[in-house]
Amino acid sequence: MFNKRTINSLTKALVFVIGALLIILSSRITLAQSVTDGFSLRTNNAIPVGDTADNMIYLPLVMKNFPFTPEAPVLNAISNEDGDGNYTVSWGSSDGANTYTLEEDDNADFSSPTTVCSSNGTSTAISGRDVGTYYYHVRASNSYANSDWSNVESVEVTVPLPNCPQTGPWLGVTSQEGGHDIYFEVEDSSQCQIAAESLRIEFKDSCENDIVMTIMSSALITNRHFEIHGENITVVGDFASPKTANGTFSYGKDGCTASETWEAALNLGASGPVYALAVQDDGKILVGGDFSWLGAQRRDNIGRLNADGTLDDTFNPGANGWVKALAVQPDGKIVVGGAFTELGGETYHGIARLNADGTLDTGFNPENYESNVVYALVVQPDGKIVVGGMFDRWDGRTRDDIARLNPDGSLDTAFTTTALTGLPTWVYTLALQNDGKILVGIRGFLTSTWKQACPIKRLKPDGSSDFTFLVGVEGNMNGLVVDTSVRTLLVQSDGNILIGGHFLELEGVARYNIGRVNSDGTLDDAFNPGATPSTTGYVYTLFEQSDGKILVGGGFYTLGGETHYSIGRLNPDGSPDMDFNPEANNFIYTLAVQADGKIVVGGRFTELSGGTCNYIGRLNPDGTLDTSFMP
């Protein structure tokens, strides 16, 4: 039926097909295949020999890509009938693809594209776009290759985004008497929302119950309005501006109700009390306290401000408990004391040291205990660190509320003292004299006469008691025992010692919460300004300016016989500086003065010198508020 030529042709065709399939399955393998009439098949173009010389077949090496390169998907037209910044972008599937990448740009050339989606789906929701025209294209990919980009589709947004309030903590008061608070946090998101578990409100219901409620759910802020519902309570709010808000709340449970209004503002500054301030050589300001926000950003109990008051974004070690003391070493390292058990994500009990950039100094390893609380720090010229607070052991050794560390954080075993042994007390403040002696201010303790006696202790450089220095501090008012303590000590440039705290007598002479002794411990009779306290107010902080004037902060309402609320300034002789009267509406715990004479103030206040300042503020040298300082 077939002649020899036909058979040869069919055979050659069959061999071609088989060879091609073999090449696909075996990359670059030399094939030698015998066929029925003696043909030899080679892929390397070698010249055949023998009877097959007249029947050569040349097969070039052909590689087939596998898996296949996906085809470019087709992007669908984008619908946005209401013109707002929320819409969906979709596209068709592509065979062999397992990932789709969607890019967005504000021009059709895609000169600066942004990837908005990379997934195995074929659609994605877009939200939070402001007024403008947005362009999109998509491509398909698998593990082998990417497709070409799809067609380009665009969408126009004509409805502007709502004017969202500024992110951060917000603090305000209700209309009820007694200054009941409302607090919440605005999250940074494209939709703007009240963060879950952040809204806390205090009020009194119709049954005279004091209520503090935290609402666990979050709430979107739409067109400057939100409603958030908790168990038995609803809070409604409207933002009058990015930094102010007002609203109502309604409550009902078991027949007890409450319905009032509230006002709040962005809590610029800190979200809680500031206990410690320190100014670095570069002018930056270290801040320690009991807060979770600083400068409208998350900062856990410690942060740093630039000299102009803006937040230092590069400094964020974080402590899991309050920070009470800060000391800057000559090399720029920062010793931190407080009630934390972690700093910078590592375990440190009450004390740790940071490098100047805020990272942990891992070479500083104090062997203290979880219960240790540090209230006071002093860095000596030799680099050793005196630590005061509330503890009874350090590095396995007995240490009653005071210890000294070597520069590496290890315990200085040569420094021992029994000055506080057996006393139910702790150390609030420390001060270093030029001769190396250490002044110690402690919390009061009861004596057999039912007076509170709190002598200021002075230690020699080795920690032993200096019995030549005996200063008695007592508190007794009409037979009633009052809490007596020394909260702050300041060695002046002339060597005299300022004492502040909560007491009625100094060396047996009436002195209300502030006094001065000479370097030998004798009373300075001429210095008697007096700080009349509020119910529980003390003198918490003292600072001597370069001109010899003395800044005083605490919880008092008169100083030197004149009205001064929580802050004042004394002339060197103790008379009040009548040109300085900023006033604060609550306690001031700490003061620091910058190189230009401006005064940074920290405490529990929300108003300072007539302006809103949440726990931290700055005064000009004359006591007026520095309105440019807005952490």
State both tokens at 127. Answer: 């939200």
Mean pLDDT of 160-181: 82
Could you tell me if 473 and 414 are in contact, meaning their C-beta atoms sit under 8 angstroms apart? Answer: no
Residue 344 pLDDT > 70: yes
How confident is residue 129, by pLDDT bands cut at 50, 70 and 90?
Answer: confident
Looking at the chain, the whole-number percentage of residues with pLDDT higher than 90 is 61
State both tokens at 465. Answer: 């008691």
**What digits encode the pLDDT tens for the residues 386-400?**
999 999 889 889 898
Mean pLDDT of 447-461: 68
How confident is residue 483, by pLDDT bands cut at 50, 70 and 90?
Answer: low
Q: What is the pLDDT of residue 240?
A: 84
What string of DSSP letters covers 265-293? EE--BBSS-EEEEEE-TTS-EEEEES-SE
Q: What is the pLDDT of residue 3?
A: 47
Residue that wins the pLDDT comparison between 449 and 599:
599
Looking at the chain, the whole-number percentage of residues with pLDDT higher than 70 is 84
The single-letter DSSP state of residue 257 is E
Q: How many residues does the chain have?
A: 631
Percent helix, strand, coil in the chain, to 5, is 5, 45, 50
Find residue 263's DSSP bridge partners. Answer: 173, 246
Mean pLDDT of 427-432: 96
**What digits encode the pLDDT tens for the residues 67-85?**
688 999 999 999 998 888 8
Q: What does the alpha-carbon distance between residue 331 and residue 345 come to, in Å, rounded to a whole number?
A: 23
Q: What is the pLDDT of residue 171?
A: 87
State both tokens at 538. Answer: 């003390």
Residue 562 pLDDT > 60: yes
β-pair type (531-533, 373-379):
unpaired
Least confident residue range of 203-207, 265-269, 412-416: 265-269
β-pair type (153-157, 473-477):
unpaired
Query: What does each C-alpha distance from 294 to 310, 321, 615 come to in angstroms?
Result: 10, 15, 10
Residue 451 pLDDT > 50: no
pTM: 0.69
- Return the residue matching tokens 């950039």: 357
**What digits encode the pLDDT tens for the residues 594-603?**
999 999 999 9
Could you tell me if 456 and 441 are in contact, meaning their C-beta atoms sit under 8 angstroms apart? Answer: yes
Q: What count of Cα atoms within 13 Å lies in the side-chain half-sphere of residue 590?
A: 26
How confident is residue 61, by pLDDT bands cut at 50, 70 and 90?
Answer: low
How confident is residue 43, by pLDDT bands cut at 50, 70 and 90?
Answer: very low
Least confident residue range of 229-238, 371-380, 468-477, 569-578: 468-477
In this structure, which CATH number among 2.120.10.30, 1.10.3720.10, 3.40.605.10, 3.40.1120.10 belongs to the domain 268-378?
2.120.10.30
Tell me if residue 52 falls in helix, strand or coil.
helix
Mean pLDDT of 600-616: 93
Least confident residue range of 36-45, 89-98, 133-142, 161-170: 36-45
Q: Is the dihedral of CA 340, 343, 347, 352 positive or negative?
A: negative
Find residue 89's DSSP bridge partners. Answer: 124
- Give the mean pLDDT of the chain: 85
How confident is residue 11, by pLDDT bands cut at 50, 70 and 90?
Answer: very low
Residue 163 pLDDT > 50: yes
Could you tell me if 118 and 154 are in contact, meaning their C-beta atoms sit under 8 angstroms apart? Answer: no
Mean pLDDT of 318-333: 97
Residue 541 pLDDT > 60: yes
The single-letter DSSP state of residue 49 is -
Q: What does the alpha-carbon distance between residue 104 and residue 143 come to, in Å, rounded to a whole number?
A: 23
Rounded to a whole number of angstroms, the distance between the first and last alpha carbons of the chain is 101
Q: What does the alpha-carbon distance between residue 601 and residue 565 come to, in Å, rounded to a whole number?
A: 14
Q: What does the alpha-carbon distance between residue 484 and residue 482 come to, in Å, rounded to a whole number?
A: 6
Q: In the CATH scheme, what is the homologous superfamily, with its name and number, of domain 87-157? A: Immunoglobulins (2.60.40.10)
Residue 497 pLDDT > 70: yes
Least confident residue range of 119-123, 300-304, 428-432: 119-123
**What digits encode the pLDDT tens for the residues 273-305?**
999 999 999 999 999 999 989 988 889 999 999
Q: What does the alpha-carbon distance between residue 455 and residue 423 come to, in Å, rounded to a whole number?
A: 12
Q: What is the pLDDT of residue 454?
A: 59
Q: What is the pLDDT of residue 25?
A: 43
Q: What does the alpha-carbon distance between residue 132 and residue 352 come to, in Å, rounded to a whole number?
A: 51
